Structures are given as C-alpha cells and as structure tokens.
Amino acid sequence: MQCEPRLEFALPAEPASVPQVRRAVTRQLLAWDLGDLADAVSLAASELSTNAVLHAGRAFRVPMERIADGARVAVTDAPARRPHPDLTRHRLHSR
C-alpha cells in the first residue's frame, strides 16, 4: 500500500470485500507506523464494511487519512438516489 497521507479504495458489495478491507487497513496502518492501532481499527472497518455489504447492498469506499495522532478511517456508500420529500400529502391537505 501507499505511504501517502490520504488514500481511498473502493470495493463491491460482496462478502469477500470484508476481509479485503481488514487486510488493506492493517497494511496501511503498518505502512504509516501505526501498527499499535491495527487490530482495533481494522476490526471497526471490517464491521462497518459488513454493514455496507448487508444493508446498503452497493459498492462502498474506505477512505483513510493519516492525522497527527493516528488515522481516520471511514466506510461510506453512495445513496441509491437522492432523498426527495413526499409533497403529495402536503398538497392534498394544505389550503
């Protein structure tokens, strides 16, 4: 993995992606000389990845950033569509 201060990888919503996340996060933390955080952070990232696979059901991203006292890791997925308020009820009942 890269030793850049920021990186992001994208994965498909498949069960096989979860262990890939855990390995990739661990490798990157080791590259950043943050091996003491590897177990806890990779576990959290794999749990969040599992949620993305099971509940979002679409590709997801894992952005990582080296910060002063550690690392920031997230798991994000794009919404299937932008939420739109249901104005039908409002139009029917307001005058």
What's residue 91's pLDDT? 56
What's residue 11's pLDDT? 94
Q: How far is CA 21 from CA 55, 77, 91, in A?
A: 17, 14, 46
Q: How confident is the model over 4-29, as pLDDT tens digits?
A: 789 999 999 999 999 999 999 999 99
Residue 47's closest CA among 32, 31, 66, 25?
25
32 pLDDT exceeds 80?
yes
- Are 62 and 11 in contact, with CB atoms under 8 Å apart? yes
- Are 11 and 45 in contact, with CB atoms under 8 Å apart? no
Pairing between strand 60-67 and 6-11? antiparallel
73 pLDDT exceeds 70?
yes
- Are 15 and 54 in contact, with CB atoms under 8 Å apart? no
Instruction: State how far the Cα of 88 lies from the Cα of 76, in Å rounded to an integer.
Output: 31
